[in-house]
């Protein structure tokens, strides 16, 4: 290993500065980083430990394992952390202004992902003596991560290229009688040999995702615990989503909701395929999914409110007479049109009711209008877009349109 790239080092220091602006804005003295994705974002390393970022001054990465590798990977100072009991002493030594006798400093951390047991241990350490109070800083880091730098956008574009190549290769192998699992395995092979890291990370508690959601016909329309418009039959209760051993049948929609992760950054895209042709009902629904994404593209501009974009999509689906099928069906309909994407699949912003934040240049969103028909299948499209000063730029590389196979 040769140490961290200079470009990435500068990138990380800029991210820390943006987080420090959030801390200063909310009167917090420091941010304690605990989650591995946030650690990577703010230090350049996912080694085990905690990063401490003061509102003013330099950050420190306190590492339990591997100290050597963290030193090679990170853009900030690294200190060994032998035990949690020693953590308070290290912090008092390095950041006396935060742990001063007078006053009570606010130390923010990621309540949205921090296990209760770990929180309790850290709270005992940091708040001993009444000099510090821990507060929820989840929104601080999520807002910093909402806008992407050119370096991050480049990683997402690299993932998009891999996904496009893999889908093109795999789609040409789809045959009647082939199982969903066989098709998913081919896609996974194609993206893996091109550099996919093998995981797709999410922030939500207990939400897991593999390569994506692949399903055909009625199996794709079976709901699951996954927060998406299509669940999939899966391989049983222990893996109750996405591809199953169901054979693919002529005339049914094949939903190819596929992701890829390069250098930690994710692309999310969906294409719909069919052997032969779709029924008139499903073909019309697919056409409406493309119409909705076209309308959404017109609205993906700086200043547009996320909830207004979602409301427009709901109205468009309703006008088409398809509101019951939009983004799921019945009680299993999901309440969003699109989501931020980057190091995790479920980042901010969200195109959903109640998320009123305006779009700004640098945001990256996956927009996924889909229609679910129980017993018949799911059709739709999904592209990932970068918000720019002049409107959206599609990062997805796969050609659009229904994939019709002979």
State whether 116 and 202 are in the same domain: no
Question: pLDDT digit string (tens) for 187-213?
Answer: 999 999 999 999 999 999 999 888 899
Position 8 scores a pLDDT of 86
Position 128 scores a pLDDT of 85
State whether 245 and 106 are in the same domain: no
State whether 128 and 61 are in the same domain: yes
Tokens of 356: 């009123």
Average pLDDT over residues 173-182: 97
Proportion of the chain in helix, strand, coil states, percent, rounded to 5: 35, 25, 40
Report yes or no on 186 lying in a domain: yes
Rg over CA atoms, the chain: 23
Position 348 scores a pLDDT of 98
Residue after which a domain boundary falls, among 84, 113, 144: 144
For 127-194, strand residue ranges (E) read 132-136
Position 169 scores a pLDDT of 97
Annotate 215-229 with DSSP letters as a single string. EEHHHHTS--SSSSS
Report yes or no on 94 lying in a domain: yes
Angle subtended at Cα 102 by Cα 96 and Cα 105, rounded to the nearest 5 degrees:
65
Report yes or no on 1 lying in a domain: no
Does the pLDDT at position 3 exceed 80? no
Report yes or no on 176 lying in a domain: yes
Average pLDDT, the chain: 96
Can you tell me whether residue 298 is helix, strand or coil? helix
Position 80 scores a pLDDT of 97
Question: pLDDT digit string (tens) for 208-243?
Answer: 888 899 999 999 999 999 889 999 999 999 999 999
| Residue 42, CA distances (Å) to 11, 12, 34, 301, 320 in order | 9, 6, 11, 28, 45
Position 129 scores a pLDDT of 81
Residue after which a domain boundary falls, among 82, 111, 144: 144
State whether 373 and 301 are in the same domain: yes
State whether 226 and 332 are in the same domain: yes
Residue after which a domain boundary falls, among 144, 170, 204: 144
Position 104 scores a pLDDT of 86
Can you tell me whether residue 198 is helix, strand or coil? coil
| Residue 128, CA distances (Å) to 18, 104, 118, 283 in order | 29, 11, 16, 63
What is the C-alpha separation between 370 and 379, in angstroms, rounded? 6
Position 100 scores a pLDDT of 81
State whether 225 and 128 are in the same domain: no
Domain holding 319: CATH number? Answer: 3.90.230.10
190 neighbors 299 (Cβ within 8 angstroms): no
What is the C-alpha separation between 106 and 140, in angstroms, rounded? 13
pTM of the model: 0.95
Span between the terminal Cα atoms of the chain, in Å: 49
Domain holding 28: CATH number? Answer: 3.40.350.10
State whether 97 and 212 are in the same domain: no
Average pLDDT over residues 173-180: 97
Does the pLDDT at position 1 exceed 80? no
State whether 108 and 202 are in the same domain: no
Average pLDDT over residues 107-119: 97
Domains held by the chain: number: 2
Percent of the chain whose pLDDT exceeds 90: 92
Position 102 scores a pLDDT of 65
State whether 52 and 177 are in the same domain: no
State whether 139 and 162 are in the same domain: no
Question: pLDDT digit string (tens) for 66-91?
Answer: 999 999 999 999 999 999 989 999 99
Report yes or no on 362 lying in a domain: yes
Does the pLDDT at position 290 exceed 60? yes
State whether 168 and 194 are in the same domain: yes
Question: Which residues constitute the domain of residue 217?
Answer: 147-405
Report yes or no on 210 lying in a domain: yes
Report yes or no on 38 lying in a domain: yes
State whether 204 and 341 are in the same domain: yes
* β-bridge partners, 212: 258
Report yes or no on 365 lying in a domain: yes
């Amino acid at each position: 290993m040769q140490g961290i790239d200079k470009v990435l080092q500068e990138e990380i220091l800029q991210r820390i500065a943006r987080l420090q602006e959030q801390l200063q804005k909310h009167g917090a003295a420091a941010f304690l980083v605990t989650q591995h994705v946030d650690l990577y974002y703010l230090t350049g390393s996912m080694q085990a430990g905690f990063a401490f970022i003061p509102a003013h001054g330099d950050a420190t990465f306190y590492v339990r394992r591997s100290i050597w590798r963290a030193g090679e990977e990170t853009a900030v100072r690294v200190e060994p952390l032998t035990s949690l009991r020693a953590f308070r002493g290290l912090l008092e030594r390095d950041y006396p202004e935060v742990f001063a006798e007078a006053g009570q400093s606010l130390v923010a951390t990621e309540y949205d992902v921090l296990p209760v047991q770990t929180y309790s241990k850290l709270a005992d350490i940091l708040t001993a003596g009444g000099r510090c109070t821990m507060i929820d800083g989840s929104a601080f880091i999520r807002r910093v991560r909402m806008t992407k730098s050119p370096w991050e956008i480049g990683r997402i574009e690299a993932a998009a290229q891999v996904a496009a190549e893999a889908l093109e290769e795999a789609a040409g192998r789809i045959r009647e009688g082939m199982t969903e699992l066989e098709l998913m395995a081919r896609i996974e092979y194609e993206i893996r040999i091109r550099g996919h890291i093998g995981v797709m990370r999410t922030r939500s508690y207990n939400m897991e995702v593999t390569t994506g959601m692949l399903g055909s016909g009625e199996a794709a329309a079976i709901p699951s615990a996954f927060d998406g418009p299509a669940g999939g039959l899966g391989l049983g209760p222990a893996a109750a989503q996405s591809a199953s051993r169901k054979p693919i049948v002529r005339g049914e929609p094949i939903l190819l909701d596929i992701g890829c992760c390069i250098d930690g950054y994710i692309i999310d895209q969906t294409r719909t395929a069919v052997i032969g042709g779709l029924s008139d009902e499903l073909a019309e629904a697919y056409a409406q999914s493309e119409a909705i994404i076209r309308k959404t593209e017109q609205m993906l501009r700086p200043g547009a409110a996320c909830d207004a974009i979602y409301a427009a999509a709901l109205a468009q689906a309703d006008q088409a007479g398809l509101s019951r099928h939009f983004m799921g069906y019945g009680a299993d309909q999901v309440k969003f049109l699109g989501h931020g994407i980057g190091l995790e699949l479920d980042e901010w912003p969200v195109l959903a009711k109640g998320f009123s934040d305006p779009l700004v240049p640098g945001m990256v969103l996956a927009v996924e209008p889909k229609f679910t028909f129980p017993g018949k299948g799911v059709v739709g499209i999904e592209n990932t877009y970068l918000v720019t000063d002049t409107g959206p730029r599609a990062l997805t590389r796969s050609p659009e349109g229904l994939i019709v196979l002979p």
